[in-house]
Amino acid sequence: MTTNAAAYTKGLHELGDGCFAYLQPDGGWGWSNAGLVVGDGVSLLVDTLFDLQLTREMLDSMRSAVGNAPIGTVVNTHANGDHCYGNQLVSDAEIIASEKAAHEMREVPPSMLAALNSAPGELGDLFRGFFGAFHFDGIEQTLPTRTFVGRLDIEVGGRAIELIEVGPAHTAGDVIAYVPDAKTVYTGDILFIGGTPIVWAGPLSNWIAACDLMLGMDIETVVPGHGPLTDKTGVVQVRDYLAFVQTEATARFHAGMDAWDAARDIALDGFGELGEAGRISVNVDTVYRTLDPNHISPDVVEQFKRMAALDARH
Ligand SMILES: [Zn+2]
Protein backbone atom coordinates (compact mmCIF):
# COMPACT_ATOMS: atom_id res chain seq x y z
CA MET A 1 0.00 0.00 0.00
CA THR A 2 1.30 3.46 -0.77
CA THR A 3 1.46 6.45 1.46
CA ASN A 4 -0.78 9.30 0.51
CA ALA A 5 0.51 12.18 2.58
CA ALA A 6 -2.21 14.38 1.13
CA ALA A 7 -5.05 12.39 2.70
CA TYR A 8 -5.80 13.98 6.04
CA THR A 9 -8.82 12.02 7.11
CA LYS A 10 -9.84 10.60 10.45
CA GLY A 11 -8.70 7.05 11.11
CA LEU A 12 -5.92 4.57 10.51
CA HIS A 13 -3.51 5.16 7.62
CA GLU A 14 -1.02 2.54 6.46
CA LEU A 15 2.43 3.99 5.89
CA GLY A 16 4.13 0.81 4.66
CA ASP A 17 6.63 -1.51 6.41
CA GLY A 18 4.10 -2.37 9.10
CA CYS A 19 3.84 1.23 10.26
CA PHE A 20 0.53 3.05 10.68
CA ALA A 21 -0.68 6.46 11.77
CA TYR A 22 -4.04 7.18 13.41
CA LEU A 23 -5.06 10.74 12.52
CA GLN A 24 -7.68 13.01 14.06
CA PRO A 25 -8.41 16.12 11.99
CA ASP A 26 -8.39 19.03 12.47
CA GLY A 27 -5.42 18.60 14.78
CA GLY A 28 -6.54 21.47 17.05
CA TRP A 29 -6.74 21.35 20.85
CA GLY A 30 -6.94 17.70 21.95
CA TRP A 31 -7.23 16.26 18.42
CA SER A 32 -3.98 14.29 18.52
CA ASN A 33 -2.43 11.58 16.35
CA ALA A 34 -1.13 8.17 17.41
CA GLY A 35 1.00 5.46 15.81
CA LEU A 36 1.21 1.71 15.44
CA VAL A 37 4.25 -0.41 14.55
CA VAL A 38 3.47 -4.06 13.87
CA GLY A 39 6.24 -6.55 14.57
CA ASP A 40 6.46 -10.33 14.50
CA GLY A 41 3.85 -11.46 17.03
CA VAL A 42 3.70 -8.19 18.94
CA SER A 43 3.01 -4.52 18.21
CA LEU A 44 3.92 -1.11 19.56
CA LEU A 45 1.39 1.68 20.10
CA VAL A 46 2.67 5.25 20.15
CA ASP A 47 0.31 7.27 22.38
CA THR A 48 -3.28 6.84 23.45
CA LEU A 49 -5.93 9.54 22.95
CA PHE A 50 -7.64 12.19 25.11
CA ASP A 51 -10.54 10.12 26.39
CA LEU A 52 -11.72 6.54 26.58
CA GLN A 53 -14.31 6.83 23.81
CA LEU A 54 -11.77 8.09 21.28
CA THR A 55 -9.12 5.58 22.37
CA ARG A 56 -11.58 2.67 22.16
CA GLU A 57 -12.59 3.72 18.66
CA MET A 58 -8.93 3.88 17.65
CA LEU A 59 -8.08 0.47 19.13
CA ASP A 60 -11.08 -1.04 17.32
CA SER A 61 -9.88 0.42 14.01
CA MET A 62 -6.42 -1.11 14.61
CA ARG A 63 -7.71 -4.65 15.17
CA SER A 64 -7.15 -6.01 11.65
CA ALA A 65 -3.79 -4.23 11.27
CA VAL A 66 -2.63 -5.75 14.53
CA GLY A 67 -3.88 -9.24 13.58
CA ASN A 68 -2.06 -11.81 15.70
CA ALA A 69 0.50 -9.29 16.93
CA PRO A 70 -1.25 -7.73 19.94
CA ILE A 71 -0.07 -4.45 21.43
CA GLY A 72 2.58 -5.42 23.97
CA THR A 73 4.26 -2.04 24.39
CA VAL A 74 2.90 1.50 24.53
CA VAL A 75 5.00 4.64 24.40
CA ASN A 76 3.58 7.90 25.72
CA THR A 77 5.50 10.63 23.91
CA HIS A 78 4.75 13.13 26.70
CA ALA A 79 2.45 13.94 29.60
CA ASN A 80 -0.35 15.90 27.91
CA GLY A 81 -3.65 14.08 28.31
CA ASP A 82 -4.34 13.87 24.58
CA HIS A 83 -1.40 11.44 24.41
CA CYS A 84 -1.96 9.34 27.55
CA TYR A 85 -5.45 9.61 29.09
CA GLY A 86 -6.53 6.49 27.18
CA ASN A 87 -3.82 4.34 28.82
CA GLN A 88 -6.44 2.58 30.93
CA LEU A 89 -7.53 0.63 27.82
CA VAL A 90 -4.03 -0.77 27.20
CA SER A 91 -3.12 -1.45 30.81
CA ASP A 92 -2.07 -5.03 29.98
CA ALA A 93 0.84 -3.68 27.95
CA GLU A 94 4.14 -2.31 29.16
CA ILE A 95 3.79 1.50 29.11
CA ILE A 96 6.98 3.47 28.54
CA ALA A 97 7.64 7.19 28.98
CA SER A 98 10.52 9.40 29.97
CA GLU A 99 10.96 9.79 33.72
CA LYS A 100 10.07 13.48 33.47
CA ALA A 101 6.91 12.78 31.46
CA ALA A 102 5.77 10.15 33.97
CA HIS A 103 6.30 12.67 36.77
CA GLU A 104 4.42 15.41 34.91
CA MET A 105 1.44 13.10 34.28
CA ARG A 106 0.81 12.98 38.03
CA GLU A 107 0.51 16.78 38.11
CA VAL A 108 -2.37 16.95 35.60
CA PRO A 109 -4.64 13.93 36.16
CA PRO A 110 -7.81 13.47 34.09
CA SER A 111 -9.86 14.42 37.17
CA MET A 112 -8.42 17.94 36.93
CA LEU A 113 -9.60 18.35 33.33
CA ALA A 114 -12.97 16.84 34.29
CA ALA A 115 -13.34 19.46 37.04
CA LEU A 116 -12.38 22.36 34.75
CA ASN A 117 -14.70 21.14 32.00
CA SER A 118 -17.64 21.00 34.42
CA ALA A 119 -16.82 24.19 36.33
CA PRO A 120 -19.64 26.74 36.42
CA GLY A 121 -19.50 30.21 34.94
CA GLU A 122 -16.65 31.93 33.17
CA LEU A 123 -13.94 29.43 34.14
CA GLY A 124 -15.92 26.47 32.84
CA ASP A 125 -16.89 28.35 29.69
CA LEU A 126 -13.24 29.13 29.03
CA PHE A 127 -12.12 25.48 29.29
CA ARG A 128 -15.16 24.09 27.51
CA GLY A 129 -14.22 26.41 24.66
CA PHE A 130 -10.98 24.43 24.34
CA PHE A 131 -11.88 20.93 25.62
CA GLY A 132 -15.69 20.72 25.65
CA ALA A 133 -15.73 17.94 23.02
CA PHE A 134 -13.96 15.45 25.30
CA HIS A 135 -15.16 13.26 28.18
CA PHE A 136 -12.84 13.09 31.18
CA ASP A 137 -15.26 11.75 33.77
CA GLY A 138 -14.41 8.32 35.14
CA ILE A 139 -10.99 7.98 33.55
CA GLU A 140 -8.65 6.01 35.81
CA GLN A 141 -5.22 7.51 35.44
CA THR A 142 -2.91 4.76 34.23
CA LEU A 143 0.76 5.67 34.54
CA PRO A 144 3.82 4.31 32.73
CA THR A 145 5.25 1.05 34.01
CA ARG A 146 8.75 1.73 32.69
CA THR A 147 10.63 5.03 32.51
CA PHE A 148 13.96 6.13 31.13
CA VAL A 149 16.27 9.11 30.82
CA GLY A 150 17.93 10.19 27.57
CA ARG A 151 17.50 7.27 25.25
CA LEU A 152 16.03 3.80 25.26
CA ASP A 153 16.47 1.25 22.48
CA ILE A 154 13.71 -1.34 22.48
CA GLU A 155 12.85 -4.31 20.32
CA VAL A 156 9.28 -4.99 19.31
CA GLY A 157 8.67 -8.26 17.49
CA GLY A 158 12.14 -8.25 15.93
CA ARG A 159 12.10 -4.56 15.08
CA ALA A 160 14.45 -2.00 16.60
CA ILE A 161 12.78 1.17 17.88
CA GLU A 162 14.76 4.12 19.21
CA LEU A 163 13.09 6.23 21.88
CA ILE A 164 14.90 9.55 22.10
CA GLU A 165 14.18 12.11 24.82
CA VAL A 166 14.38 15.59 23.29
CA GLY A 167 12.66 17.62 26.02
CA PRO A 168 12.17 19.71 27.92
CA ALA A 169 10.58 21.48 24.96
CA HIS A 170 6.81 21.20 24.41
CA THR A 171 6.60 19.62 27.90
CA ALA A 172 9.10 18.48 30.52
CA GLY A 173 9.84 15.07 29.02
CA ASP A 174 9.15 14.88 25.28
CA VAL A 175 10.17 11.72 23.44
CA ILE A 176 10.25 10.85 19.74
CA ALA A 177 9.99 7.25 18.50
CA TYR A 178 12.19 6.40 15.52
CA VAL A 179 11.71 3.25 13.45
CA PRO A 180 14.93 3.00 11.41
CA ASP A 181 13.90 0.02 9.25
CA ALA A 182 10.89 2.02 8.00
CA LYS A 183 12.62 5.42 7.89
CA THR A 184 9.69 6.65 9.97
CA VAL A 185 9.52 8.84 13.05
CA TYR A 186 6.61 9.46 15.41
CA THR A 187 7.30 12.87 16.87
CA GLY A 188 4.54 13.43 19.42
CA ASP A 189 4.03 17.14 19.95
CA ILE A 190 7.53 18.04 18.82
CA LEU A 191 5.65 18.65 15.57
CA PHE A 192 2.36 20.46 15.04
CA ILE A 193 1.55 20.61 11.32
CA GLY A 194 -0.98 23.19 10.20
CA GLY A 195 -1.32 24.33 13.80
CA THR A 196 0.85 26.47 16.04
CA PRO A 197 3.45 24.72 18.21
CA ILE A 198 2.98 25.47 21.93
CA VAL A 199 6.09 25.67 24.09
CA TRP A 200 4.83 24.94 27.61
CA ALA A 201 8.23 23.99 29.02
CA GLY A 202 11.03 25.18 26.74
CA PRO A 203 13.63 26.41 26.26
CA LEU A 204 12.90 26.97 22.58
CA SER A 205 16.54 26.12 21.83
CA ASN A 206 15.90 22.52 22.96
CA TRP A 207 12.99 22.20 20.56
CA ILE A 208 15.01 23.73 17.71
CA ALA A 209 17.75 21.19 18.51
CA ALA A 210 15.14 18.40 18.32
CA CYS A 211 14.18 19.61 14.84
CA ASP A 212 17.84 19.63 13.82
CA LEU A 213 18.24 16.11 15.17
CA MET A 214 15.34 14.89 13.01
CA LEU A 215 16.62 16.77 9.97
CA GLY A 216 19.87 14.80 10.33
CA MET A 217 18.12 11.43 10.57
CA ASP A 218 17.44 8.97 7.77
CA ILE A 219 13.66 9.53 7.61
CA GLU A 220 11.08 9.71 4.86
CA THR A 221 7.80 9.61 6.79
CA VAL A 222 7.05 11.88 9.71
CA VAL A 223 3.98 11.43 11.91
CA PRO A 224 3.35 14.63 13.89
CA GLY A 225 1.50 14.82 17.21
CA HIS A 226 -1.16 16.99 15.54
CA GLY A 227 -1.99 17.57 11.89
CA PRO A 228 -1.42 15.72 8.62
CA LEU A 229 1.46 13.37 7.79
CA THR A 230 4.58 15.11 6.59
CA ASP A 231 8.28 14.68 5.83
CA LYS A 232 11.30 16.82 6.59
CA THR A 233 9.57 19.88 5.11
CA GLY A 234 7.21 19.80 8.11
CA VAL A 235 10.19 19.71 10.47
CA VAL A 236 11.63 22.77 8.75
CA GLN A 237 8.31 24.65 9.10
CA VAL A 238 8.18 24.06 12.86
CA ARG A 239 11.84 25.00 13.23
CA ASP A 240 11.21 28.24 11.30
CA TYR A 241 8.30 29.18 13.57
CA LEU A 242 10.31 28.56 16.73
CA ALA A 243 13.33 30.50 15.47
CA PHE A 244 11.02 33.39 14.51
CA VAL A 245 9.42 33.52 17.98
CA GLN A 246 12.80 33.23 19.68
CA THR A 247 14.18 36.21 17.73
CA GLU A 248 11.09 38.42 18.02
CA ALA A 249 10.48 37.75 21.72
CA THR A 250 14.14 38.17 22.66
CA ALA A 251 14.30 41.60 20.96
CA ARG A 252 11.23 42.77 22.88
CA PHE A 253 12.58 41.36 26.15
CA HIS A 254 15.78 43.39 25.74
CA ALA A 255 13.72 46.47 24.85
CA GLY A 256 12.00 46.15 28.22
CA MET A 257 8.56 45.24 26.88
CA ASP A 258 6.20 43.18 29.05
CA ALA A 259 5.70 39.58 27.85
CA TRP A 260 1.96 39.91 27.24
CA ASP A 261 2.48 43.19 25.37
CA ALA A 262 5.18 41.48 23.31
CA ALA A 263 2.85 38.61 22.38
CA ARG A 264 0.29 41.15 21.11
CA ASP A 265 2.95 43.22 19.38
CA ILE A 266 4.58 40.49 17.28
CA ALA A 267 3.24 40.47 13.71
CA LEU A 268 2.85 36.78 12.86
CA ASP A 269 2.52 37.38 9.12
CA GLY A 270 2.36 33.95 7.43
CA PHE A 271 2.53 32.12 10.79
CA GLY A 272 -0.80 33.77 11.66
CA GLU A 273 -2.46 31.43 9.17
CA LEU A 274 -1.61 28.41 11.36
CA GLY A 275 -4.38 27.18 13.62
CA GLU A 276 -4.36 28.22 17.29
CA ALA A 277 -2.20 31.27 16.54
CA GLY A 278 -2.98 32.61 20.04
CA ARG A 279 -0.41 30.15 21.42
CA ILE A 280 2.13 32.89 20.70
CA SER A 281 1.33 34.25 24.18
CA VAL A 282 2.55 31.07 25.91
CA ASN A 283 5.56 30.86 23.61
CA VAL A 284 6.67 34.43 24.25
CA ASP A 285 6.25 33.95 27.97
CA THR A 286 8.45 30.84 27.81
CA VAL A 287 11.17 32.83 26.01
CA TYR A 288 10.99 35.46 28.79
CA ARG A 289 11.26 32.78 31.47
CA THR A 290 14.34 31.35 29.76
CA LEU A 291 15.99 34.79 29.56
CA ASP A 292 15.07 35.74 33.12
CA PRO A 293 14.84 32.98 35.73
CA ASN A 294 12.95 35.42 37.98
CA HIS A 295 10.22 35.98 35.39
CA ILE A 296 6.90 34.88 36.82
CA SER A 297 4.62 33.18 34.29
CA PRO A 298 0.87 33.61 34.54
CA ASP A 299 -1.12 30.68 35.91
CA VAL A 300 -2.70 28.22 33.51
CA VAL A 301 -6.13 29.89 33.61
CA GLU A 302 -4.60 33.24 32.63
CA GLN A 303 -2.56 31.50 29.89
CA PHE A 304 -5.76 30.08 28.37
CA LYS A 305 -7.54 33.44 28.70
CA ARG A 306 -4.74 35.13 26.79
CA MET A 307 -4.76 32.49 24.04
CA ALA A 308 -8.53 32.81 23.68
CA ALA A 309 -8.22 36.59 23.44
CA LEU A 310 -5.55 36.36 20.74
CA ASP A 311 -7.37 33.59 18.83
CA ALA A 312 -10.39 35.88 18.66
CA ARG A 313 -8.26 38.46 16.84
CA HIS A 314 -7.17 36.05 14.09
ZN1 LIG B 1 -1.03 16.95 21.87
Mean pLDDT of 277-302: 97
> pLDDT at position 266, please?
97
Q: Ligand 1 centre from 83 Cα, in Å?
A: 6
d(CA 156, CA 151): 16
pLDDT at 133 over 50: yes
Confidence of residue 3 (pLDDT cuts 50, 70, 90): very low
Mean pLDDT of 212-233: 98
Which of 139, 202, 142, 196 lies closest to 170 in space, CA to CA?
Answer: 202
Mean pLDDT of 24-53: 98
> pLDDT at position 314, please?
64
d(CA 6, CA 232): 15
Mean pLDDT of 218-232: 98
Which of 218, 207, 216 lies closest to 246 in space, CA to CA?
Answer: 207
Q: Ligand 1 centre from 104 Cα, in Å?
A: 14
Q: Ligand 1 centre from 292 Cα, in Å?
A: 27
Q: Ligand 1 centre from 156 Cα, in Å?
A: 24
pLDDT at 259 over 50: yes
Q: Ligand 1 centre from 71 Cα, in Å?
A: 21
Sign (positive or negative) of CA dihedral 168, 194, 85, 162: negative
CA–chain centroid gap for 39, Å, is: 24
Q: Ligand 1 centre from 8 Cα, in Å?
A: 17
* Helix/strand/coil for 221: strand
> pLDDT at position 192, please?
98
Q: Ligand 1 centre from 254 Cα, in Å?
A: 32
Q: Ligand 1 centre from 256 Cα, in Å?
A: 33
Q: Ligand 1 centre from 69 Cα, in Å?
A: 27
Q: What is the pTM of this model?
A: 0.97
